[in-house]
Structure 1
Amino acid sequence: MADDLCSFSKVPKKSPLVLRMIVLVFAMVCGVYICSICLKQVSTRNKTGYLDLEVIERPCPEPSIEPEEVPYVHYPKPETYSRAECACNPVRYFAILSMQRSGSGWFETLLNNHTNISSNGEIFSVKVRRSNMSTIAETLDRIYNLDWFSSASKNECTAAVGLKWMLNQGLMQNHEEIAQYFKRRGVASIFLFRRNLLRRMISILANSYDRDFKPLNGTHKSHVHSPLEAEILAKYKPTINSTLLIANLRQVAETTAKALEYFKSTRHIILHYEDIVKNRTKLRDVQDFLKVPRMELKSRQVKIHKGSLSNLVENWDDVQKTLTGTPYESFLHSDYRREKLQSH
């Protein structure tokens, strides 16, 4: 009985030790399990951070330019394609602000002859695109983001991108908002006008006649690429309404002055068609303005109305009489010189 009591009394002495061992082993197992979970989480975070670093694109280095040029340097990221090796090539934005029959079509073909310039034509000749400022801004955003595709698109390695914008295509009606957009987005304005507004009027009337009667095999062509086509179109001599002539010339001059006033706060350059025709170094000024390498620019367009104005108008005597003694008399005498040097 005593032995039984002794053996019974030893059990409680060993039992706490066993329990302690069990608790210790359990704690160790839990500790190892918890540590393994923590290590996995840390490893996952490290991997995720590494992947994020891989996805984030390296910022393009700042070009060596003057501080005042910084707002005009951009790095577009098109949504429809990758600029690839040209992703860090800076791009400048521009808009050619002009009027119909002012040589803007010819001028734009010269710009597009440059390897790094894309001018996308009269984008806002389509009325829905200029219906309000929202649609105008959306269209401009696509153009300047290099997401607008046209025959002029250079895509990846474009260094200057823009469009041709006529004053009567929503530009004057929304001039305040558009000028603000230009300044906010760093868009440069290239003004292109004609000095001789009488020649512009002759071109407008002749183009209107061509649109209605289509003497070139039943097709209308605002611009031609052969001397024969130019000769056919030049045969038409418009009759100018001498009664409305001065009022029309005044209106065009006033519209031009307003455009220059509206957009004078934007970075701009003012060009005249006649100056470019007579002096091709003006094209160097444009390339310098856009900060692109200088190139010899050419156009396939052929000039239609050449020679003296007196040979281009049916009622020249009436026109001459109407303008003599007025502020527009100089238009009667200012003709092109160096006609033989023209290649458009």
Structure 2
Amino acid sequence: MAGEVFFHDEDEYWTPARRHRALDLFFEERMRSRSNVDGNLLAEAPDDFYHEVVSFNRTQRGKSGAVVRGFDWKLSQGFLEDWAEWLREYCLKRSVSILWYQRRNLLRQHLSHRDMKKTGIAMVKQGQAYRRGKVSLDTRTLLSELRARRDLNGRVDRLLEHARSLGVRVKSAYYEDLLDDAKKLHNVVAFLLKGTDCLVKPRDLTSQLRNRKIHKGPLGDLIKNWDEVRDVLLQSEFSAMAQP
């Protein structure tokens, strides 16, 4: 499993056509260096893209059995934009499975998103050092941002339900559940491996997956201006989230 391929696109480099070609390269397994790119479509792609794809391909070289290829695609990186244009048919043609992975708590989703934009860190692996600082949230825009995130989640749910009806393999999972429940993590791994030629058994792979929370603990310990945030939440439909 690779990490993010498209990363934070501050220069707006990634277009639907470039993302399409990037996925072709990723799934073709041929790219061992930047010079392997065909044509000029991705000639100026960010270095992070090449580093992630090339390093993933190199780690798989020489391994026996089939390699199940996957990566982390954030909603902010064009997933919804690409779906109708080319991604829907791509998933059907290549039998791509989709895991819709999110936090259960909407405020924690928002907190993680804000912190990720600031630090560029989406996940910390076991043994990796990471010092988390408190995050300040803009209370002037908090409610509109939470509503927008709620609407976005609903849009993705509907899109993936339609994808499932077309024959795309789709599964939803919550971040907190996979950290706390080994059985649910095993079920996700089994879903991703089902129908592939991978020789690794789900239970063996599950035992190797050890990620840890970045934003753990009470919200009051994570949000710098928690008192202000709490007051705003209590006056809205999100009052149930106003627990420290």
Q: Identify unmatched segments of 5+ residues in structure 2.
A: 32-53, 195-199
Contact 1:123-1:165 at 8 Å conserved across structures? yes
RMSD: 3.0
Give the stretch that moved more between structures: 165-174 or 139-148. 139-148
Closer/same/farther in 2, CA of residues 210 and 189 from structure 1, 3 Å limit: closer
Q: Which residues in structure 2 correspond to 1:251-330 (within 5 Å)?
A: 251-264=148-161, 265=163, 266-289=168-191, 290-291=193-194, 293-294=201-202, 295=204, 296-299=206-209, 301-324=211-234, 326-330=236-240
Structure with higher RCO (Cα < 8 A, 6+ apart): 2
Whole-angstrom distance in 2 between the partners of 1:287 and 1:331: 31
Overall identity of the aligned pairs, in %: 24
Q: Once the two structures are superposed, what CA deviation does each residue of 1:95-133 show, in whole Å capped at 9, x if it has no partner?
A: xxxxxxxxxxxxxxxxxxxxxxxx222222385873233
Contact 1:238-1:312 at 8 Å conserved across structures? yes
Structure 1 residue 162: Cα displacement: 1.6
Structure 1 residue 301: Cα displacement: 4.7
Contact 1:129-1:136 at 8 Å conserved across structures? no
Whole-angstrom distance in 2 between the partners of 1:330 and 1:170: 31
DSSP-derived class of the 1:157 partner: coil
Partner of 2:92: 183
Closer/same/farther in 2, CA of residues 259 and 196 from structure 1, 3 Å limit: same
The AA in structure 1 aligned to 2:145 is N
Contact 1:287-1:293 at 8 Å conserved across structures? no
Structure 1 residue 315: Cα displacement: 1.9
Partner of 2:50: none
Partner of 2:36: none
Partner of 2:109: 200
Q: Once the two structures are superposed, what CA deviation does each residue of 1:210-253 show, in whole Å capped at 9, x if it has no partner?
A: 57xxxxxxxx89737558x44xx33x322221221111111112
Partner of 1:122: 4
Contact 1:189-1:267 at 8 Å conserved across structures? yes
The AA in structure 2 aligned to 1:141 is D
Contact 2:178-2:184 at 8 Å conserved across structures? yes
Structure with larger Rg? 1
Q: Once the two structures are superposed, what CA deviation does each residue of 1:182-205 show, in whole Å capped at 9, x if it has no partner?
A: 112211111101111222333344
Whole-angstrom distance in 2 between the partners of 1:126 and 1:314: 24
TM-score of the superposed pair, with normalisation by structure 1: 0.51
Partner of 1:151: 56
Partner of 2:78: 170
Q: How many residues align?
A: 203
Whole-angstrom distance in 1 between the partners of 2:125 and 2:190: 29
Contact 1:207-1:222 at 8 Å conserved across structures? no
DSSP-derived class of the 1:242 partner: coil
Give the stretch that moved more between structures: 287-296 or 273-282. 287-296
Structure 1 residue 324: Cα displacement: 2.0
Whole-angstrom distance in 2 between the partners of 1:226 and 1:186: 34
Whole-angstrom distance in 1 between the partners of 2:209 and 2:186: 15
TM-score of the superposed pair, with normalisation by structure 2: 0.70
Contact 1:129-1:139 at 8 Å conserved across structures? no
Contact 1:226-1:302 at 8 Å conserved across structures? no
